Amino acid sequence: MRSLPFLRFLRLSRPFTTNTMPRLNPASEAAIERLRTFRPPPTSYDLVPLSRRAAVLLLLYADPQGDLRVVLTIRAKTLSSYAGQAALPGGRADSLTETPFQTARREAHEEIGLPDNDALLPRPFRVEHICEIPSSLARTELVVRPCVALLHAVDPVTGETTDPEETLIPRLDAREVAAVFTAPFAQFLRATDDPRWGSDNPTEWYQGAWTEWHRENWRMHQFFVPIDPKTVVKPRSSNQAQQEAASALEEKERSGAVTRYRVFGMTARILVDVARLAYAREPEFEHNSHFGDERLIAQLREMGRLSPARKRGDELTREDLEMASQVGMRSEKSKLS
C-alpha cells in the first residue's frame, strides 16, 4: 500500500505552535498509568496463522484541557470490507515476526500518515507504546489485537508543548480512509452527551441493544460523535471514485444531513473496554463484563476453523459460533472430570 510521503505531510500541516497545549490533567495521568500497568492474559494471537492476524492502534493524546482524545477514521467507500464505517487505524500483519504494535504502527502510517518511526516525528512529538489488550474476533475471522499508545507533545528538555490538532492530525492516504476525526476518550463510558457540548438532544450520543451471539447475550454499542470541522481531515485523492465519495460525505455534512459520525461494532466495543481499564469504572450503560474474545478464539482454533487459507467473503455464521460454544463446553467438562 502506498503511503503519503511525510515531507508532503509536513507541508500540508499548519505551522507549529508552542505553549498551547497543557500536559495531561490528573485524571488523564491516572488513566494512562493504569494502562501502563495493565498486563493482558495469555493470547491466541501468536498461535493463529498470519492470514488471521490484524492489529489496531488506539492513539491517545491530550486536548487543551488535558483530557484524553482518541484518533479514529472513516473507512473509504472504495474498500471491500467495512466501507464507510468508523474504525481505528490498523490492518493485517505482514509477517509472522511482526509484533502487533509494529503492525498497528505500520498500518497507521499507511492509512493516516503517522510515521511508524519516532525519529521521523518532529519535536517534541513521540509515541509511547502503552499496552495491548485482549484480542477481539472480527466477523471476517480476523484476530484483532488492540494496541494502546500515547502521543507525547511536551519537549522533555524545554517543557514546551504543541497541540497535535494544530500540527499533527495526520494527512491521509486517500486509498485507505475517507476522513480522520477524534473523539473524547472518557466519553465512551457515558450514556449521554457531555453537558459542555450544549446539545439540544443529549441522548443522541449512545444507543445500545442486546443480541444473542454464540449462545450468549452480547451488548451492541453505537456512539454518535459530533462532527467538529476543526478536527476532521479529508483526503486529497486523484482517484475519481474516492473524490466523489469524499465530496458526497462533505456535502452531507455541510447540508446538515450528517452531523455525527457513528462508531459501532467491534470498534465501539474495543473503545469501551479500554476506557473501562483506563478510568477504572464501569460505563453508564449495560455491557459485557469480559474483555475481548480470547476464549472464543481458542474454541474456534480447537474446532479447526481459523485455518491459514482465507476465502474472499469469509464470515462467521451463527452455526459456526454455536459449534464453538459446544467445543468450549466439552473442554470445560473434560477439565472437571
Tell whether the model's pLDDT for residue 230 goes beyond 70.
Answer: no
Beta strands at 53-62 and 143-152: parallel, antiparallel or unpaired? parallel
pLDDT at 131: 98
Domain ranges of the chain: 6-293
pLDDT at 95: 97
> Rounded to the nearest 5°, which phi and psi values hold at 306?
-90, 70
Average pLDDT over residues 107-126: 88
What integer pLDDT is reported at residue 303 of this predicted model? 82
Q: Give residue 156's pLDDT band: very low, low, confident or very high (50, 70, 90).
A: confident
CB atoms within 10 A of CB 158: 11
Pick the CATH number of 6-293 from 1.10.620.20, 3.90.79.10, 3.90.700.10, 1.10.3470.10: 3.90.79.10
Contact 306, 52 (CB under 8 A): yes
Say what the pLDDT of residue 210 is.
93
Give the per-residue pLDDT at 288: 94
pLDDT at 5: 38
pLDDT given at position 322: 62
Q: Which range, 37-41, 300-304, 306-310, has the best average confidence (pLDDT)?
A: 37-41
Q: What three-state secondary structure class fits 304?
A: coil
Q: What angle do CA 53, 181, 183 make, to 5 degrees?
A: 90
The predicted structure's pLDDT at residue 287 = 95
**Per-chain mean pLDDT for the chain:** 81
Q: Which residue has the higher pLDDT, 183 or 198?
A: 183
What's residue 124's pLDDT?
A: 85
Average pLDDT of 75-95? 80
User: Residue 323's pLDDT is what?
Assistant: 60
Q: What is the mean pLDDT of residues 171-181?
A: 70
State the Cα torsion 197-203-204-208 to the nearest 10°.
Answer: 130
Give the model's pLDDT for residue 262. Answer: 93
Q: Which of 13-17, 60-64, 173-177 has the highest mean pLDDT?
A: 60-64
Confidence of residue 255 (pLDDT cuts 50, 70, 90): low
Q: Find the mean pLDDT for residues 139-154.
A: 93
Specify the residue for cell string 500541516: 13
